[in-house]
Structure 1
Amino acid sequence: MTTSTEALDALNARLAEVEAYLHLDEKRARVAELEAKSAEAGFWDNPDAARTLMAELSSCKEDIQAVADAREGISDALAALELADEMGGDEELLAEAASTAQALERKIDDMELSSWFTGEFDHGNAILTIKPGQGGLEAQDWTFMLFKMYMKYCARRGWKVTVNDCPAAEVIGIDRATITVEGKNAFGMLRAEAGVHRLVRISPTDDKKRRQTTFAGVEVIPVLPDDIEVEVDPGDIRVDVYHASGPGGQGVNTTDSAVRVTHIPTGIVVTCQNERSQIQNKAACMQILKARLYELELQKREEALDEIRGPKHTIGFGNQIRSYVLYPYQMVKDLRTGVETGNPDAVLEDGDLDPFIFGYHRWATGNAEGPSAEDTLLDE
C-alpha cells in the first residue's frame, strides 16, 4: 500500500469541494449565534427547544472540526512523504503516509456523502422495517438474515438501535422486524436500502438441496422531529396487548407487555415488544404510527412517496434493488448502481454495506453511472 503527493492533492481538492457543499462559513456564523443563545438567561426554560438547538450546535461543530482534522491529516501525510524522500524512501514513513491517506479517504467519503443529504429528515434518525415476501419459510429466514445484517451495519456505524418488534416465525426465521436507529445521517444513509432484496441459495429447508430464490422488503421512514406534530384521535386507534416473543422462540418476558396499535381509519398496524412495560411499548408504537401517518399525508398531498421511502412494489420477482447470490456463485450486486462484491459474507455477516450505500447516493445525485441495461437484464 503506497500513496503519492498527487493522490494527496486529489484528496485536498475533494475536501475543498466538500467544504463548499457543507457551507462551513455559514455554519461558523451559526455556531456563534447558537452559542450566544445558549448563554442567555432562561435558555433551558423550554427544554425541548433547548435540546434541539444544542443538537444543531453539536452538528455544526462536528462538521467544522471534521474538515479541520482532514486538512491536518493531509498536511501530516505530505510531511511524512517529504521526510521519507529525504531519507531515501524510508518504508516506515511511507507506510504511515499511506495509512493516513487511506483513513482520510474514508473520512472524506463520509463528509461528501453527508453533503449530498438535502432532504428535510436526512440528518436525523430512522425507522427500518423488514418484511418477508415471496418464498414462504425461506422468506422468513431471509428476513432474519437481513435483520442481523442491519444490526451489524448499525454497530459498525456506531448508531444506537432499539429493536421495536422482531417476533419469531413458527418454523424458521422471523415474521418481521422493526428497529429504530439513532445516529447522524441515519435516515439519509438507510433510505438507500428501501426496496426489495433478493436471495439465491441452496435451501436449508429442502431435503433435496435445491436452489431457492426468495425475497424480503425493506421500508425506511424518518423519526419525526419534536417540532412536527401529528394528531392522532384516541378514538381512531385500537390497542391490544399480548405475550412478547423473540427470534428463535426465546421469550422476551413472561408478561403481557407487547403492544399492537391499529389505526382504524387507515388500517395501519404497529407492534412493539422490546420494552418491559406496556406503557413504553405503546409509546414506541405511537412514535412509529405518527411517522407512518405523516408519510401517508405527504403521499396524499404531494403524490411523492418516492421522496420518503421509494416506490411501492410487490416483494417478489422483477422488483428487487439488490441481489445476494450464494449459489451457484458468490456475489452481491446492486441493480440500480452496478456496485457489486464477490464476498457476500462481508455484507451479510459483517454488515459491510458502505460501498452499496455510498454507491447508491453517488448514483442518485448524478455523481456516478448506474449499470448498463444489459447488466440489469442479466441479473434479473
Structure 2
Amino acid sequence: MQPLKKRLDNLRREFDDLFAKLQIADKQTQRDALEDELTRPELWNNPTHATEVNKQFAALDSTVSPWTTLAAQLRDIAELMELGDDTLAGEFDGQITAMESQLDELRKALRFTGAFDDHNAIIRLSAGVGGTDAQDFTEMLERMYLRWAEKSGMTTSSVERSTGEEAGVKTSVIEIVGPYAYGKLRGEHGVHRLVRLSPFNSDNLRQTSFALVEVLPQIDTPDEVTIDDKDLKIDVYRSGGHGGQSVNTTDSAVRVTHLPTGIVVAIQNERSQIQNKETAMKILRSKLAQLQLEQHAASIADLQAGESANWGSQIRNYVLHPYSLVKDTRTKYEEKDPQAVLDGKLDGFMESYLENSSYE
C-alpha cells in the first residue's frame, strides 16, 4: 500500500501545481459569479445579454469541471486509502492510473499560453479563387470544423452565412464554444487550397480552388478590446429577406468600419438592427484582437491598416487528385486520408502546430 500512497502524493502535488499555474481557482470564481447571475430572473429581461452570459458560463464550466471532478476523486481515494484495506490495492492501483491519465490530458492546457488561448473562437470562412468549386470547398471546410467541434465536445452556432448561387457558400461565420477553442484552432488561420477533379466542370477537369479561414478569439466583454467611438463608421442598410421583390426586407443590416485599420464587418442575419450591431461589434473586437496578435502591437491604437489573414498566407493543401494527401505547408504534417480530415480529423494538424512554436 505504501508505494500506492507515494504515487498518490506525487499525483496530488502535480495536480496542485498545475491547478495554480492554470489559474483554475480564478476561473472557478468567475464561473460561480456567472452561475449566480443566471439565477436572477431579471437577467432574462434582456435575452441577448442573458444568452451571452450563458455562453460564458458554459465555456468556463467546461474548463473548470474536469479539474473539480479530479480533485473530488483525489480526495475520495485518499480517504479510502487511509482505512488501510490491503485487499483493495488492485482497485486503488487502477484508479490512480486512470487519474494519472486524466492529469496528463489536463496538462496539455499548459501549451495554451497566448493572451486569448482560453477564449472561445469565431471562424470566418470565405470562398476565394475558383468560382463554384471554391464555394463548394468553403462549405466542405465549414462541415469539417463543425464535425471537429462536435467530436471535441464543443458547441457551435452560425453567426452569418451567405450561400452560393449554384452550390456551396460564399461566406460563413461560426462561433465555437469550448475549452481553449481559440488556442486549439488558431493554427487553422490562413488560406486553404483544394486540388480535385471538378464536379462542376462538364469535362471533369482538375481544378484548383482556394478558401480563406480566419480564426478569431471571441471577445465577450467590450473592456477586453477598447474601441474609440470616433474610430467607427456605422452604416445601416436594407437587409433582403426570402422571396425577392423587397419581400421581408428591413433596414436592419449593419456595416461597421474601423477607420484606422479599414476593417469592415457587415451583419444582416438578425431581424433586429440592435442585434446585428452587437454581433458586428463583437466580431470587430475579435478581428482587432487577432490583428493585435499578428502585429505584436501594444494596444489597438498602435495597429496599422490591413486585414487579418491575407490571401498570401497559404497554410494547407487538400489534394484529392491525382493522389490523396492533406499537408500543412508550415509544419509538413500530413494525412493520407483526405476524407477523414474533411470529416473533422484535425487534431494531428493542431498538435503539430502547437509543438512548432516558430510558427506562432
The percentage of aligned residue pairs carrying the same residue is 37
3-state SS in 2 of match to 1:119: coil
Letter in 2 for 1:165: E
Name 1:228's counterpart in structure 2.
Answer: 224
Q: CA deviation at 1:343?
A: 2.0
Counterparts in 2 of 1:303 and 1:343: CA distance versus 1, 3 Å: farther
Q: CA deviation at 1:71?
A: 7.9
Q: Whole-Å Cα distance in 1 between the matches of residues 61 and 139 of structure 2? A: 35
Name 1:314's counterpart in structure 2.
Answer: 311
Q: Whole-Å Cα distance in 1 between the matches of residues 288 and 357 of structure 2? A: 26
Q: Whole-Å Cα distance in 1 between the matches of residues 274 and 71 of structure 2? A: 45
Q: Does the 8 Å CA contact 1:168/1:245 hold for their aligned counterparts? A: no
Q: Whole-Å Cα distance in 1 between the matches of residues 241 and 59 of structure 2? A: 38
Name 1:203's counterpart in structure 2.
Answer: 198
Give the structure with the higher percent strand. Answer: 2
Name 2:274's counterpart in structure 1.
Answer: 279
Report the aligned-residue RMSD.
Answer: 4.7
Q: Whole-Å Cα distance in 1 between the matches of residues 193 and 219 of structure 2? A: 30
Name 1:238's counterpart in structure 2.
Answer: 234
Structure 2 unmatched ranges of 5 or more: 1-7, 44-48, 76-86
Name 1:291's counterpart in structure 2.
Answer: 286
3-state SS in 2 of match to 1:301: coil
Task: Say which of 132, 137, 153 aligns to 2:132.
Answer: 137
The C-alpha deviation readout for 1:194-239, integer Å capped at 9, x for no partner, is 1111111001221111111111111112122424252342683132
The C-alpha deviation readout for 1:250-271, integer Å capped at 9, x for no partner, is 9xx9343443333345432212
Name 1:6's counterpart in structure 2.
Answer: none
Letter in 1 for 2:348: P
Q: CA deviation at 1:112?
A: 3.7
3-state SS in 2 of match to 1:184: coil
Letter in 2 for 1:293: L
Name 1:147's counterpart in structure 2.
Answer: 142
Name 1:347's counterpart in structure 2.
Answer: 341
Q: Whole-Å Cα distance in 2 between the matches of residues 182 and 36 of structure 1? A: 18
Counterparts in 2 of 1:283 and 1:327: CA distance versus 1, 3 Å: same
Counterparts in 2 of 1:279 and 1:27: CA distance versus 1, 3 Å: closer
> How many positions carry a matched residue from both structures?
313
- The residue correspondences of 1:42-121 to structure 2 (distance < 5 A) are 58=61, 61-65=64-68, 67=70, 110-121=105-116
Name 1:215's counterpart in structure 2.
Answer: 210
Name 2:78's counterpart in structure 1.
Answer: none
- The residue correspondences of 1:322-337 to structure 2 (distance < 5 A) are 322-337=316-331
Counterparts in 2 of 1:343 and 1:68: CA distance versus 1, 3 Å: farther
Counterparts in 2 of 1:174 and 1:230: CA distance versus 1, 3 Å: same
Q: Does the 8 Å CA contact 1:127/1:179 hold for their aligned counterparts? A: yes
Q: CA deviation at 1:137?
A: 2.9
Q: Which moved further from structure 2: 257-266 or 213-222?
A: 257-266
Counterparts in 2 of 1:334 and 1:20: CA distance versus 1, 3 Å: farther
Q: CA deviation at 1:117?
A: 0.4
Counterparts in 2 of 1:62 and 1:271: CA distance versus 1, 3 Å: same
3-state SS in 2 of match to 1:357: helix
Q: CA deviation at 1:18?
A: 7.7
Q: Does the 8 Å CA contact 2:59/2:179 hold for their aligned counterparts? A: no
Task: Say which of 187, 199, 207 aligns to 2:182.
Answer: 187
Letter in 1 for 2:67: I
Structure 1 unmatched ranges of 5 or more: 1-11, 73-78, 84-96, 367-380
Name 1:357's counterpart in structure 2.
Answer: 350
